[in-house]
Structure 1
Amino acid sequence: MNSLFSPENLPPPPGIPIPATIAAASTTTPNPILIPKLEPFDEWLNTHTPQQQQQSQDPNSSNGSLDLDLKLFGDESPEDFSGDPNLLSDFNRLSQLFRTAFSNNNAVPDPITQGIQQLGNDAVSNPFAKPPQNETTVVPPPSFQNGTVSDPGMLLQQQQQYPNGAVSDPDSRAIVPVPEDGRSSSVAVTTPRQPRRCKELVRLMDVGGPEQRHFRDVVRRTRMLYDSLRVLATVEDEGRVDARRGRSDLRASAVMRNCGLWLNRDKRIVGAIPGVCIGDVFLYRMELCVVGLHGQPQAGIDYLPASMSSNGEPIATSVIVSGGYEDDVDEGDVIIYSGHGGQDKHSRQVFHQKLEGGNLAMERSMHYGIEVRVIRGVRYEGAASATGRLYVYDGLYRIHECWFDVGKSGFGVYKYKLCRIDGQAKMGTVVMKEALMLRKDPLSFKPMCCLSLDVSNRKENVAIRLFNDIDRNYDPLQYEYLVKTNFPQFVFHQSGRGTGCECVDGCVEGCFCAMKNGGDFPYNQSGILLRGKPLVFECGPFCHCPPHCRNRVTQKGLKNRLEVFRSRETGWGVRSLDLIQAGAFICEYTGVVLTRDQAQLLTMNGDSLIYPNRFTDRWAEWGDLSMIDSNYVRPSYPSIPPLDFAMDVSRMRNVACYMSHSSTPNVLVQFVLYDHNNLMFPHLMLFAMESIPPMRELSLDYGVADEWTGKLSIGN
């Protein structure tokens, strides 16, 4: 197959004029040291040697080169652990996975070989369900000459099994026959060499609705696994007595890479990444690498090197804009992006830049008209990372100009003018700025459409805004707001003294409430759910621990500023003005609890009930490690009997009742007990399944249809 980037089809690279003053100065200035543009310069770089930094910037280097403590769950020996033996087994297996990820500091782990050893061929070759059978077009990016496509009809049609993070190179494995020696013949799989990261540039086109939903679900589950590993890894750091803390984000990504679960590694995709939407928020840089949005752990320019390109020229695919460089100018739709190189270890410009590496890749992408993905690194109050920064995907840009100029430090800098391509969704950073304005002033945007500043009438910890810019419907104001679920009085009769812990200054390992949860606490110190369970026991009124105890999370009520809004697609919906981190508590789903007999009487006049036993078991997806651990067992303790009650939301309800239904939700239902001990009547607590950016609609999976009415049980 002939490549569109074959040398004979390409025009010579255009020369970029260099000012005479700079050219003259360059003859007396020492040659610059090419350092990848680091975006941003985070605290981790200040604590590692230059050799370790260089290894981390190499896309093919092992994360194991980072000097991290690998013991995930503290220094307890098995005989010191008191609790559920199955839980101990899970912890040991997970700890071993983290040790394996960092066991080789000198060689790059082979995701194929290690994946086969850990999981078996079937799990490694395709860890997720296959996409729909419709063919997807994989198009090599066209070469542009004078702004026109030189050969738009050249397409590469193939059935893309996507994603396939384990097999990254079709010729990286060989089937070698084993000679017969009187026994039956067999074959052996060998790996002749470490496969290169990628070989060719492709663009996915004609991705229909079913394929897009499939890719979105793959990205969602990949990110959920990454977040689950990262959150579980924080347990070790919390148990440390010294000041040394590990990098849970690096460790989680290393485990997934060793198991072949990084996405988009077999081919370098230009343009949009299937399954990644504009506005998606990533809490860590390594998460960008895991989904294939930006493949450099530290460098700001991600590009296909000349050594991997079919035409011998580098091509840029994505950039990170953080605003941390003096020559950068960010005006939203137009960006003046400065190149890399010529900087010292303190990120100061001390040499002239050269047209090589990422700088040359940006110029070549401009020459061929190839778009680049733009990810913005922004500071956000409450971000999980140590730097207080998160990353927002803002869509596709084209490089319109490239020139060599004198920077503010007096040295020559390459600059690139990036313009956003029209017809895309609103930039995620713009949406976040609008949400920030609404947090400061709820009437700053369309004040006439704000029907109420607080539908809870100050019953919640934070106000809940009611917004409708579609019609004159103000139905949510007609209901009485119910902060907590209203249980029948007999539910509390089984509660009594002597059922709580004796902890004085917060619960500690091995206390009564920890043992009720199977030997460990359900949350980390930040209140993030570690893994979904059939039931979670929180400390209650008979416990001696204070209100700030780590085992009192959901009972503290709402923390995020939510908004009930009118939607053309879902009727009424709910979104947050704040970023909601994966695993964080959102709110309780409240209503008036009815017994089965009471529910049957009420349905005679129309059904407006919620049936808790029909919510799907989405809690099992949060913390599911079956993709990396073949011995993983779904949590079964603490167990609860089948729930045989309904919740009436016809007169009293809360904000959760306006969440829409989705078969791929971003919110899960976790059953929790804290104010009574009746297992048949738990609270319905809602947690985030993924990091949810501001102004994105929250959704639940309400489950199967009602067998009597044939309708889905949705409160609105």
Structure 2
Amino acid sequence: MDSSITPLNEGNPHSFISPKQEPKLEPPDEEEHTPLPNPNSLKEEVSSSESDIYAEFLRISRLFHSAFAGKLGRDLAVLSPGALPIVPTNPPPSISSAIVPVTKRKRQRSTEMVRVSSLTVHDQQHFRDSVRKTRITYESLRLFLLREECPSPVTGRRTRADLKAAAAMMDRELWLNRDKRIIGSIPGVDVGDLFFFRMEMCVIGLHGQVQAGIDYVPGIRSSNGEPIATSIIVSGGYEDDEDKGNMIIYTGHGGRARQQMRHNVHQRLRGGNLALERSRHYGIEIRVIRGLKYESSPTGKVYVYDGLYRVVDYWLDVGRSGFSVYKYKLLRMVGQPEMGSAVIKFTENLRKNPLLGLPAGYMSLDISRGKENLPVYLFNDIDSDCEPMLFDYLVRPIYPPFAFQQVGGGVGCDCISPCSDGCYCVERNGGKLAYDEDGILLKGKPLIYECGSSCRCPLSCRNRVSQKGVKHRLEVFRSRETGWGVRSLDSIRAGAFICEYSGIILTSKQAEVVAMNGDSLIHPSRFPERWVEWGDLSNIFPRYERPASPLLPPLGFAMDVSSMRNVACYFSHSCSPNVLVQFVLFDHYDLSYPHLMLFAMENIPPLRELSIDYGVADEWAGKLSP
């Protein structure tokens, strides 16, 4: 860990020398926990709906206590990210051991700059889990606030749940990476990670500015008296920007009026502009996040972390509007994974031209043979193995006949329109709908009742999600690390349904006989209860209780996938998965034989491998054993 930031030695790019102390003129320091950008120095294009995002966030954070004081309880001990070191000791502190009392509501961002390096595999998994749990808390809280808050009686609008969730987590000191200002990669954040809300990047410390496109440590607060830039957002906000992927010509901030693309005054070498120049001087790497228009996003936009760049040159130029602008040339550092924005553009082109854009290696354009809503591709550019094509593709599990013969199993709701709170099926789920309007799982439960064939509600009902099949283009691919794996050609939102785990359902006695033949069996009872993590707000609300109903009896059945299976059987095993198993009933009501439905635990970028936690790794011999 490097605790000081100094210029690179030309003879040795990995050595550091002390910086020359030169006081620089600096604007007044902003409040560091949520820096307030000058309206005339916004770097990023801001739409009319986002023009007052900082003011709205600040208002929400100030009013948060009055709105939630009774629920939060000031004396509750909560997780403090500041209690965790940048590089954990051996062994790293557990989440449960990092509990400290809340002593104050707000904490300024640190100006101590460090670079995290040489992480072990255990360290990497530790930080990835920490980031994933923080993102789950953010998204779960945002969904909770979105459905619980009533519209304003005056304006008819709701407070922005993304801002309110961030304010609540700041109040509970759940924002990450505020005790150190990290230079370079953020531990636990991978190249290609997606963010549908900008505040989520602030919560995990990837980019700390609520609005401005340049995040930096102000000179009057840095150890050497000079500002240092740490990250930028590239979203085409300025007319003089030029983005060629690995090379970016980035226009400095300032010089235009709010909500205008064109400059109307000259830019000055101060604030973030000076910070970028100083980062060039000292050879400091810059995190680059790209903002893209994206139809599948709830906001119409997505932010993608594209890795580390270095500022290699800067100059003062005359912009297209006739005013002086500072320009910075950034080059992407070598040896990094492919840019997430490039992957998104590639998969979008595949959607538009599926046959023209396919690279070599596709062995089948649909191993389901039309049985799924969307084709399931088979890709192998490593060898000639085409094993997934040798099995009978099974969209739905084959259940024993007696599973459909339960007394009272044919009882459904009488809703003549899409179900809402209060209907029979909703009451079965504890009185709340399990999904939002977009089909996103709101909270994991032991069991979810979806409306079925006995219900009168239309197929468009919000309580019919997993039974409708896949909605993303999935691909079984050959991997050198995991053998066969699965990835999506589309981005998948956290909480979205992916597919069902399918095979032939066996009773416990049947499974004992089949196991003697060495066939591949899945035991649903051995899947860890990852569903408890989705929607868990115990670190926000002191009286939060995990859902205990609907009750699910111990599961004694097994699933035989040795001859008939579907795409889910190729999901890789991981102790830090991005997919969870949620038990669901809809076509029968035998609690002993629920469906195994798979939902995303985080925002999953295109072409990222999907993984679940099988619990006991040697049980699924066909997938987990070499």
Structure 1 and Structure 2 fold alike (TM over 0.5): yes
The answer on 1:249 being equivalent to 2:165 is no
User: What's the counterpart of residue 36 of structure 1?
Assistant: 41
Secondary structure of 1:583's aligned partner: coil
Alignment check: 8 A CA contact 2:3 2:112 kept:
no
Write out per-residue CA displacement over residues 28-57 of structure 1, whole angstroms, 9 at most, x where no aligned residue.
xxxxx87232424134235x4xxx74675x
Pair 1:229–1:571, CA change in 2 (3 A): same
The answer on whether the counterparts of 1:463 and 1:561 sit within 8 Å (CA) in structure 2 is: yes
Structure 2 counterpart of 1:289: 202
Cα pair 2:291 2:302 within 8 Å, conserved: yes
Alignment of 1:586 with 2:498, yes or no, is yes
Whole-angstrom CA distance in 1 between matches of 2:543 and 2:85 = 20
Query: Aligned residues, how many?
Result: 602
Does structure 2 retain, via aligned residues, the 8 Å contact 1:262–1:292? Answer: yes
The residue aligned with 1:227 is 139
* Matching residue within 119, 125, 130 for 2:76: 119
Whole-angstrom CA distance in 2 between matches of 1:98 and 1:672: 39
Equivalent position of 1:139 in the other structure: none
Matched, 1:457 2:425: no
1:196-345 map, 5 Å? 196-236=108-148, 243-345=156-258
| Pairs within 5 Å for 1:279-678 | 279-347=192-260, 348-385=262-299, 388-444=300-356, 447-494=359-406, 496=408, 499-678=411-590
Residues 397-447 of structure 1: CA deviation (Å, up to 9, x unaligned): 111111111111111111111111111111111111222223233444564
Measure, in 1, the Cα distance between the counterparts of 2:55 and 2:98.
24
Partner of 1:695: 607
Deviation at 1:584? 0.4
Contact kept in structure 1, 2:79 and 2:173, CA below 8 Å: no
The offset of 1:265, in angstroms, is 0.5
Q: How much does 1:319 deviate?
A: 0.2
Quick one: which amino acid aligns to residue 479 of structure 1?
F
The reply to whether residue 133 of structure 1 matches residue 133 of structure 2 is no
In the alignment, what sits opposite 1:74?
none
* Per-residue Cα deviation, 1:583-635 (whole angstroms, up to 9, x for no partner): 00001101111111211111121131111111110011101112223322221
- 561 and 128 in structure 1: CA distance in 2 versus 1, 3 angstrom threshold: farther
* Alignment partners' CA distance in 2, 1:666 and 1:127: 26
AA matched with 2:616: V
- Give the letter for the 2:339 counterpart: M
| Secondary structure class of the residue paired with 1:289 | helix
CA distance in 2, matches of 1:215, 1:711: 30
Alpha-carbon shift at residue 13 of structure 1 (Å): 8.6
The amino acid across from 1:353 in the alignment is Q
**Residue 164 and residue 260 in structure 1: after superposition, are their counterparts in 2 closer, same or farther (change >3 A)?**
farther
Distance 1:437 1:123, change over 3 A: closer
- The one-letter code of the counterpart of 1:369 is G
1:531 is displaced (CA, Å) by: 0.6
**CA distance in 2 between partners of 1:641 and 1:164 (Å):** 33
Larger Rg: 1
SS in 1 for 2:343: helix
* Contact 2:136–2:601 under 8 Å retained in 1: yes
Assess if the C-alpha contact under 8 Å between 2:125 and 2:576 holds in 1: no
Contact 1:609/1:715, CA 8 A, preserved across alignment: no
SS at match of 1:641: coil
Matched residues in 2 for 1:536 and 1:160: separation?
35
Deviation track 1:446-474 (CA, whole Å, cap 9, x = no partner) reads: 64411110111111111111100011100
1:162/1:459 CA distance change after superposition, 3 Å: closer
Distance 1:597 1:161 in 2: 40
Q: Does 1:99 find its partner at 2:55?
A: no
Using the TM superposition, give the Cα deviation of residue 653 of structure 1 relative to its aligned residue in structure 2, in angstroms.
Answer: 0.8
Aligned-residue CA RMSD (Å): 3.3
Identity among equivalent positions (%) equals 54
The answer (yes or no) to whether the contact 2:263–2:321 under 8 Å persists in 1 is yes
Q: Distance in 2 between matches of 1:450 and 1:125?
A: 45
Matches within 5 A, 1:41-80: 41-46=46-51, 48=52, 53=54, 61=58, 63-64=60-61
Question: SS at 2:115's partner residue?
Answer: strand
- Cα distance between partner residues in 2 of 1:230 and 1:447: 39
Q: Deviations over 1:262-315 (max 9, x none)?
A: 001011111111111111111110010011000001100001112211222211
Shift of 1:131: 7.0
Q: Aligned AA for 2:246?
A: D
Distance 1:670 1:465, change over 3 A: same
Three-state SS of the structure 1 residue aligned to 2:170 is: helix
CA deviation string 1:616-658 (max 9, x = no partner): 1001110111222332222110011111111111111110011
CA separation of 1:523 and 1:14: change in aligned 2, threshold 3 A: closer
Moved more, 569-578 or 340-349: 340-349
**What is the SS of the residue equivalent to 1:657?**
helix
Question: After superposition, what is the alpha-carbon deviation per residue over 1:167-224, rounded to whole angstroms, capped at 9, x for unaligned?
Answer: 9xxxxx9xxxxxxxxxxxxxxx977x97532122111122222111111111111111
Q: Which amino acid aligns with 2:296?
A: G
Moved more, 345-354 or 482-491: 345-354
What is the CA distance between 1:123 and its match in structure 2? 3.8
Note the residue ranges of structure 1 that are not aligned, 5 or more in a row.
16-32, 71-96, 104-113, 136-158, 168-172, 174-188
Q: Distance in 2 between matches of 1:123 and 1:508?
A: 35
| Aligned 8 A contact 1:467 1:566 in 2 | yes
The aligned counterpart of 2:29 is none
- State the distance in 2 between where 1:564 and 1:520 align: 36
Superimposed CA distance per residue, residues 365-395 of structure 1 (whole angstroms, 9 cap, x where no aligned partner): 111111110000011121111xx11100001
| Residue in 1 that maps onto 2:33 | none
Which secondary structure state, in structure 1, belongs to the residue aligned with residue 427 of structure 2?
helix
Give the TM-score of the pair, scaled to structure 1. Answer: 0.78
Whichever residue aligns with residue 41 of structure 1, its letter is V
Deviations 1:324-356 (A, max 9, x none): 320100000110000111211232311111111
Residue type of the partner of 2:237?
G
Q: Return closer, same or farther for 1:589/1:212 CA change in 2, 3 Å cut-off.
A: same
Q: Deviations over 1:64-87 (max 9, x none)?
A: 258xxx8xxxxxxxxxxxxxxxxx
In 1, Cα distance between equivalents of 2:339 and 2:475:
20
**Cα distance in 1, alignment partners of residues 285 and 503 from structure 2:** 50
Distance verdict in 2 for CA 1:546–1:576, change over 3 Å:
same
Q: 1:327 to 1:571 in 2, by over 3 A?
A: same
| TM-aligned CA deviation for residue 508 of structure 1 | 2.0
**8 Å CA contact retained: 2:40, 2:258:** no
One-letter identity of the residue aligned with 1:10: K
Aligned partner of 2:31 in structure 1 is: none
> Given that residues 702 and 712 in structure 1 are in contact (C-alpha distance below 8 angstroms), is that contact kept between their aligned partners in structure 2?
no
- 1:452/1:466 contact within 8 Å kept: yes
Q: 1:498: Cα distance to partner?
A: 6.0
Cα separation, partners in 2 of 1:411 and 1:447, compared to 1, 3 Å: closer
